[in-house]
Amino acid sequence: MKAIYPGTFDPITNGHLDILARARKIFGSVVVLVLDNPRKKTMFSTEERVSLIKDSVKGIDNISVEIYKGLLVHYADNLKDTVVIRGLRAVSDFEYEFQMALTNRKLSRSFEVLFLMTDMKYTYLSSSIVKEIAVLGGDISCMVPECVEKVLKERV
Ligand code: ADP
């Protein structure tokens, strides 16, 4: 089974990295799929998001990063032999993920998604909260990899 971890990653956080490391432990390798959705307003361009992920996983084997434009179910032959990894934080994530999972299943019978529960210490963590704190000059060093902290500081 091939594991893919799709998301916006604007930017990647330690919460994402935790899910990624755990998925890699289960599946041996993981493809991080950076979704390029022009309707979603992001702080970082798709290429910047990819580059930050690559920097963050430097030295870790069997993790690759790809850009994907379009419907997830159209990736890799309707996702045959592929499992989609998603992270769950609070109950608030559940409703959205539930809707997405059922919609994707409707679009492709072979769609399979596996949810990994966040680590306790990352429950509160999201890309948006990190950007919010960075903009207001707060300390984000325990929330994101060093390369992200550096770029965010420059950006704001
Ligand atoms: P999307 O726009 O697809 O939700 P995100 O980059 O926000 O993209 O999130 C990608 C995936 O990572 C989602 O499944 C999300 O629930 C998960 N995720 C984000 N932050 C955390 C965290 N702190 N702990 C666990 N999972 C997380």
Is residue 80 very low, low, confident or very high in pLDDT (cuts 50, 70, 90)?
confident
Residue 76: pLDDT band by 50, 70, 90 thresholds? confident
Q: What is the pTM of this model?
A: 0.95
> What's the confidence (pLDDT) of residue 77?
75
**Mean confidence (pLDDT) of the chain:** 95
Q: What integer pLDDT is reported at residue 56 of this predicted model?
A: 98
Determine whether 141 is an active site residue.
no
16 is catalytic: yes
Select which of 25, 39, 40, 41 is catalytic.
40
The Cα angle at residue 14 between residues 13 and 17, in degrees rounded to 5: 95
Please report, for residues 44, 97, 112, the alpha-carbon distance to residue 29 in angstroms, rounded to integers and kept in the order given.
26, 23, 17
For ligand 1, is residue 8 a contact (CB within 6 Å)?
A: yes
131 part of the active site: no
Test site for ligand 1: of 5, 18, 19, 83, most ligand atoms within 8 A of the Cβ: 19
Distance (Å, rounded) from C-alpha 57 to C-alpha 136?
A: 27
Q: Can you tell me the distance from the alpha carbon of 16 to that of 20, in angstroms, rounded to the nearest whole number? A: 6
Compute the distance between CA of residue 153 and CA of residue 15 in angstroms, rounded to an integer: 19
Residue 23 token pair: 């998925």
Query: What does the block give as tokens for 39?
Result: 């309707």
CA–CA dist 30, 48 (Å, integer): 20
127 lines ligand 1 (CB under 6 A): yes
What phi and psi values does residue 146 have, to the nearest 5 degrees?
A: -55, -45
Q: Which of 24, 49, 86, 127 is catalytic?
A: 127
Q: Give the mean model confidence (pLDDT) for residues 103-132.
A: 95
What per-residue confidence (pLDDT) applies to 36? 96
Statement: residue 6 has pLDDT above 90: yes
